[in-house]
A and B are shown apart, each in its own frame.
Chain A
Amino acid sequence: MAEPILSVDGLSSGYGDFQALFGVSLDLAPKSILGLVGSNGAGKSTLFKAILGLLPRAREMVRFQGQPIGDVPTRRLAQIGIVMVPEGRRLFRSLSVEENLVLAAEHGRKGAWTVQRVFELFPILGEKRRQGATSLSGGQQQMVAIGRALVANPEVILFDEISLGLAPIVVNDVYAALPEINASGISAIVVEQDVDRVRRLAHQLVCLNEGRVVLSGPAGDFTKAQLTAAYFGE
């Protein structure tokens, strides 16, 4: 495998006295998608927060393009090329769809992904560009959140349960964008509850259980039964 674009090495972290991650390691290959699965409370969101520096981590525990970045503050990560699409979307409610995107574009890196290209990827957002971002439907809000990540022109996007709270048909619309995003050279870690969907989408799979990696490898290597067993910690 080529040198990983993002690697996590022996990451332990948690909330105050409560340790939620125990020596988690994973490698994200360039231009690939890594599916991160696990039951509720397995530590998936915690891992994202630790990578982004919202939870404590040590300098050597996270590497980006070979460089340790465990001491880089959150606000700098967008500039070096790591952004997250957070669970619950966290759009800015007093800004319009377009303003949400413009803000992120201005504070991120310059590149091929412009606000205009996001409107091409999600035409519905172009139509509703002047509307308040939080007046949109859940799926459309999720598209804004993804667009906000894209216009920062990152190398890596962390997608945290982008299907949460969405109708299945809407989930398909949102996920339909991922292959194109990946084809533009962006690598991604995708947290998702729907194991079948992740298996189809991801190149690599990592399964967490109770804060530890219990399964890791190419997505095609595992049967559904193996994944289900790992998922429930059997």
Chain B
Amino acid sequence: MSAATRATIGLILIAAILASLPLWTGAANLRLVGEILSYMALAVLWNLLAGYAGLVSVGQQAFLGLGGYTLFICTIWLGMPPLAAVPLAAVAACLAGVIFAPLLFRLEGAYFAVGTWVAAETVALIFAAIPSLGAGAGMSLPAAAVKGIASSRSMREWLIYWIMLGLALAILGGTFALIRSKAGLALMALRDNPTAAGSVGVDIWWTRFWTYIGVAAATGAVGSVIFLQKLRISPDAGFSLNDWTAIVIFIVVIGGIGRIEGAIVGTLLYFLLREMLIDYGTIYLIVLGLVGILVMIFSRGGVWGLVERHLGWSLLPTRRLRD
């Protein structure tokens, strides 16, 4: 059995366990697992962007909030069923990416990072200035639309959980397939050495462009499901730098940037820390900060980098599979 087959079987097994979760656990656990899945998806996406394409964006909240708002607009103004609005949220976020990319790609390194943040703040300010979207206060999904998802409350929670699970697995699987594809070779080369990648003929601009708008679309879809679960959105919540980018960067950095496994392990570590320490208030934040600092000083490749170096493990064999 090849490594790829083993990885596939393992993934299917984990997916089956996760899919059956609503049948044997309560609503609170379900919500927590749903949140873990959403952060895992966001971490995998940000890792693809920063760890592979070299685009250190701190403005992903722009796409997440746009996705959320698109869902609410489609549902409330156009009367669409909320679930049908999820793909449209991806399209809206993708379009925003298409508009941002030519402007932001003129900036390098730290300037690019600041540029993405400015772009995200601009989008947030625009949404906060539209009265029909509730301006700064935001808006709620009307009761009729909520009932439209599923009749009972528990059925609705299950459905939203399954959609998040499907989306997270699709993002994980899609990223894995991308990195193992021929385009993935170019992405990895770009990560290793942009100048040399350019010299062998990799088109850096377009490689980055497709990655950027693809990640934007997926981030928008994740955002729409997150706010479908919350049933309410406001500019502060939808375009939160802290919730949708800072935490995600923390996860990727402690897990191991430039590795898919790093994003997964980082997510699990983050939630473990959070669930253990959330009652301690400031101590929780101090511990998070310390963990981040220690990882950056002692293991630049994150926790997964350590595992790989000392144990030679690779959960998802993205390397050397070509026959």
Contacts and interface: CB of A to CB of B under 8 A. Distances in A.
Interface of A: 52, 54, 74-79, 83-84, 86, 90-96, 98-99, 102-104, 106-108, 130, 132, 148, 152
A186 B313 CA distance: 43
B193 A102 contact: no
B197 A96 contact: no
Interface string B184-222: 011011011101111111111000000000000000000
A130 B200 CA distance: 20
Contacts of A152: 200-201
B230 interface: no
B50 to A, nearest CB: 15
In this complex, the member of B195, B198, B199 whose beta carbon has the largest number of chain A beta carbons within 10 angstroms is: B199
A54 B319 contact: no
In this complex, the member of A83, A91, A107, A148 whose beta carbon has the largest number of chain B beta carbons within 10 angstroms is: A107
B309 interface: no
B191 A94 contact: yes
Nearest to A96: B320
Contacts of A77: 199
Nearest to A151: B200
B319 A94 contact: yes
Given A92-B188, A92-B196, A130 B201 contact: no
Given A75-B202, A107-B201, A152-B200, A99 B320 contact: yes
Contacts of A107: 186, 200-202
Given A94-B319, A96-B320, A130-B320, A86 B199 contact: yes
Nearest to B192: A92
A114 to B, nearest CB: 15
B322 interface: yes
Contact of A78 (B188, B192, B193, B199): B199
A76 B199 CA distance: 8
Contacts of B310: none
B186 A103 contact: yes
Given A90-B195, A95-B188, A107-B200, 19 more contacts: A52-B199, A74-B199, A75-B203, A84-B199, A86-B196, A90-B199, A92-B192, A94-B192, A96-B322, A102-B182, A103-B186, A103-B189, A103-B202, A104-B201, A107-B201, A108-B200, A108-B201, A152-B200, A152-B201
A54 B192 CA distance: 18
Contacts of A92: 188-189, 192-193, 196-197
Nearest to A90: B196
A93 B185 contact: no
Given A94-B192, A103-B189, A130-B320, A74 B198 contact: yes
B85 to A, nearest CB: 39
Contacts of A91: 196
B227 to A, nearest CB: 36
B182 A106 contact: yes
Contacts of B200: 78, 83, 103-104, 107-108, 148, 152
Contact of B201 (A78, A93, A94): A78
B73 to A, nearest CB: 40
Nearest to A130: B320
A93 B199 contact: no
The 9 residue pairs across chains A and B that have the minimum distance between CB atoms: A107-B201, A78-B201, A90-B196, A92-B192, A104-B200, A92-B189, A103-B185, A96-B320, A75-B198
Contacts of A130: 320
Interface string B125-155: 0000000000000000000000000000000
Contacts of B189: 92, 95, 103
Contacts of A106: 182, 185
